[in-house]
Amino acid sequence: MGFLHVLVVALPLVSPSLAADVCGASGISLQLPYFTTIKSSLNYASACGTHCIGDSKCQSYAVGNGFCLHFIKATSKIVKTISFSPFKFYDRICAPVKVNSATSTTSPTATSGGDTSTITIDVGGVITTPNIQTTDSPPLPSSDVVFPTSDKSFTVTYTYEDDPLPTVMSLGTPPLEKGLPAPTTGLPDLPCVIDPTNTEDQFNILGSNFVPLVSQAGNKLQPLPAPTSEAQAKAMGAPDDYVLPAFFFQKPASAPAGTYDIVLSGKTLQYVAKTSQGGLVLTTSSTGTTPVRRNGQTIVTSIFGVDCKGRLTVTQNGSPYTWDISADGTTTTFTAGKAASNRTMVAYSLQKKAATKRKFRKRNMYTTGQAPRCPDSPPDLVAKVFPGARGLNPNGCGPANGIDFVPDFSFGSCCNGHDNCYDNCEQGTFESCNDDFHSCMRGSGCAYLDHWYSYVGHLACLKAADFYAWAVGTSSGRDAFHSATKERCGCYCNGSQGLCGRADGDYQCTSMFGTDVNNCGACGRTCSPKAKCAGGSCACMNDQCGDRCVDLRTHPSNCGSCGHKCSTGYCFEGQCYDPPPDKCVPMQGFTNGDFSQGGNAWSQCSLGCNFFGGGIDFVDQDAYFSLNGPGSADIITTAKMCPGQAYEVSFSIRRSSGNNNCDVKYKFGNRGWSQSYSFPGAGNYGTKNLGPYNVPVFQKGDSDATVNGLSLDVAFTAQVTCTGSNVAWVVLDDFDLVPAQ
């Protein structure tokens, strides 16, 4: 399960097996290339390699994101492997490389004794401009260009780009190779199998073989007898539903810490007692820690304890005893001393039994739960196997993850699967691994005992499966999960981003092969001002000609293509341009004065139309006014005029229909209205030409004139007023504003 499946490159000199020639490793360079090109004929491996062979300085090369790069050192000395890098690195010996999309690279098997040292980069200070051979940008595609036609000063605002090639201000560092570790603080507390201080936390008592104790003859406890016939087994019901006696812990007032009575629930409480002969009886009250004489026997009750995993302990007068089912399976015995195998009676929690029937809530796979593999910052981290991690290491049903003795059931494959799940960085979570482990044991682990003649064995197996699953859900199980995570898993950014940050733990997911000029090809690799990051390489903002960054759309010596000079000294949209003079040239002042473009450049009712019914339409290349009754309406446009220039205005009017009397007047800026001019009377539908009339002269700085380049923009308004109670349809047309003769 190798992390990211990349070819591992030794940094710096390592064992011969890791320092071999590299052909096609994904990664980032820790030194700058001396040759860079985006020429399409060189941006694939075989062509770039052939070019490298032709240059004695070239010891390694790389391709990616349309680039061909050459380096003066071997790949093993300058490259840090990163699987999501778009750049593939090759040593000189690899050239020429036959392109075959069906091939792939694999990771060599990591060994525990391998040298995995990395290069430390000193980035203190500015790196000088490298000696980089360059290639020109391709010419712009041919296109139709509409040159500026207004007298707005093109030359006053004309600028173009001409800068040195980009440099790398800081080489930066590789992203975090082994990922972020799992959080080990601030985690929720994991409860023990049994809480002896809570009398509501009831339990069954099972032997180390997980056969339960049942009450017999009123005051005795013994292992559950096996049925002697299929009919008897059926009468007992399903093993998982067989009702067993429930016990709870009770703290005697005088008992030392960790010492309890075990009490059998029922209408009449009974206390579990040890006899002086090592036998087991039930009695009606606690004896405390001092043995007493009852019913002809010396007994003591306050001797029991329980550890976090649910194993019952027995201590009398400071001496330990081992309590377990006897060898013949018919009774229980107390034996002086602690069993070397830790086999002892266990407490089977009825609360946990009920809890296992509930559905677990859905969790974030990596950052939530009782033992998250990843921290929650930066967000959306995923767990993966880090480079050089150990392989899967299942140990069967050993003590590492659960209780200290192995159940005598067919749990081996389930235990191995549980170990492998803990080792599965990508898919295994603490909760899901434990749930699957539980299901496996209760399923395939116990299925072979599902017969009437192995009724007790089947019941014991199901109890063992529950108990063992609960044990791995305690803090010791979480410790084992953390150990597996530490030995195999690192937390990485999702997708093609890398973990960039500082040693103090302030890491961020960063795209190093996109457009970030502060992380261009490596963490913290910064490009010089006026540069962009293109696929992880510092590049010109627009185009490149020789050793200069230019814009082929505007550069007068590289207009449209490198080396194309404009004799006029101006380049516009990649074509040479001869702009108008840098002074205002008097021309027609109205745009669309004949309304050939409908109402384009004109608006209406800016002063406020005041009439009943009707409106203004720009139809048939006219300004058409329809007024119902008395009232007025206006149209307005912007006249373009040269400062200090005298102009003359003329236009035409005519009546289309109606008999109301109508007049028209106009004004430029705020200079006052002209006199009123009458439309032809009713029945006269001929055109009446007006003008030319003198227009006030405007200067820069006038409050009613706006500077627009070399010219002035002045508002022009024409207002039509009609009297009478009838209707009128009148037309304005052919507005003309030209320099005065």
Q: Residue 595 corresponds to which tokens in the numbers above?
A: 């309304």
Residues 71 and 213 in one domain: no
Nearest C-alpha neighbor of 527 from the set 121, 174, 164, 177: 164
Q: Are residues 211 and 343 in the same domain?
A: yes
Q: What is the DSSP string of 482-512?
A: HHHHHHHEEEEESTT-EEEE-TTS-EEEE-S
- Quick one: 610 and 732 in the same domain? yes
* Residue in this structure with the two tokens 């027995």, named with its chain if needed: 314
What does the alpha-carbon distance between residue 235 and residue 191 come to, in Å, rounded to a whole number? 37
Output the domain CATH number for residue 85. 3.50.4.10
SS3 685: coil
Is residue 230 located within the same domain as residue 347?
yes
462 occurs within a structural domain: no
What is the per-residue pLDDT for 406? 53
Q: Which domain holds residue 71?
A: 3-94
Residues 209 and 81 in one domain: no
Q: Which residue has the tokens 């209408």?
A: 267
Between the two ends of the chain, the Cα-to-Cα distance in Å is 91
Q: What is the pLDDT of residue 321?
A: 93
- Are 71 and 61 in contact by the 8 Å Cβ rule? The answer is yes
What residues have CB less than 8 Å from 515, skipping those under 6 apart? 532, 533, 534
CATH no. for residue 233?
2.80.10.50
Residue 475 in tokens: 């803090």
Count of CA atoms in the C-beta half-sphere (13 A) of 498: 31
At 364 the pLDDT is 63
Say if 301 falls within a structural domain: yes
Tell me, yes or no, whether 678 lies in a domain: yes
Kindly list the distances between the CA atom of residue 443 and the CA atoms of 119, 226, 240, 457, in Å, as whole numbers in the listed order: 52, 22, 12, 14
- The segments of the chain whose pLDDT lies below 70 read 1-20, 96-134, 149-153, 218, 340, 355-364, 398-408, 502-505, 580-582, 612
In a domain, 559, yes or no: no
Q: How far apart are CA 64 and CA 42, in angstroms?
A: 11
Quick check: helix, strand or coil at residue 126? coil
Question: Which pLDDT value is given to residue 548?
Answer: 87
Whether 537 and 521 have beta carbons less than 8 Å apart is answered as: yes
Output 674-681 pairs: Cβ under 8 A, ≥24 positions apart.
676/721, 677/653, 679/653, 679/654, 679/655, 679/728, 679/730, 680/653, 680/654, 680/655, 681/655
Task: Give the end of a domain, one of 94, 115, 132.
Answer: 94
Look up residue 260 and give its DSSP letter: B
Other CB atoms closer than 10 Å to residue 155's CB: what's the count?
A: 12
- For residue 512, what pLDDT is reported? 84
Does a structural domain hold residue 54? yes
pTM for this entry: 0.58
| DSSP secondary structure, 612-635, as one string | SSEEEE--TTSEEEEEESSEEEEE
CA distance 165 to 540: 7
Element (H, E) at 477: helix 475-488
Torsion from C-alpha of 605, 608, 609, 611, nearest 10 degrees? 170
The candidate with the shortest Cα–Cα distance to 611, out of 593, 589, 633, 595, is: 633
- CATH code of the domain containing 636: 2.60.120
The last residue of one of the domains, among 355, 376, 391, is 355
262 occurs within a structural domain: yes
Based on the fold, state whether residues 209 and 349 are members of the same structural domain: yes
pLDDT value, residue 342: 73
Is the separation of the CB atoms in 306 and 194 below 8 Å? yes
What is the model's pLDDT at position 455? 92
Residue 280, domain member (yes or no): yes
The CB density around residue 149, as the number of other CB atoms within 10 Å, is 7
Question: pLDDT tens digits for 633-672?
Answer: 999 999 999 999 999 999 999 998 888 899 999 999 999 9
CA distances, 560 to each of 79, 146, 532, 542 (Å)? 38, 15, 21, 12
Domain boundary among 54, 70, 94: 94
Is 543 inside any structural domain? Answer: no
Domain count for the chain: 3
Could you tell me whether strands 79-81 and 23-29 are parallel, antiparallel, or unpaired per DSSP bridges?
Answer: antiparallel
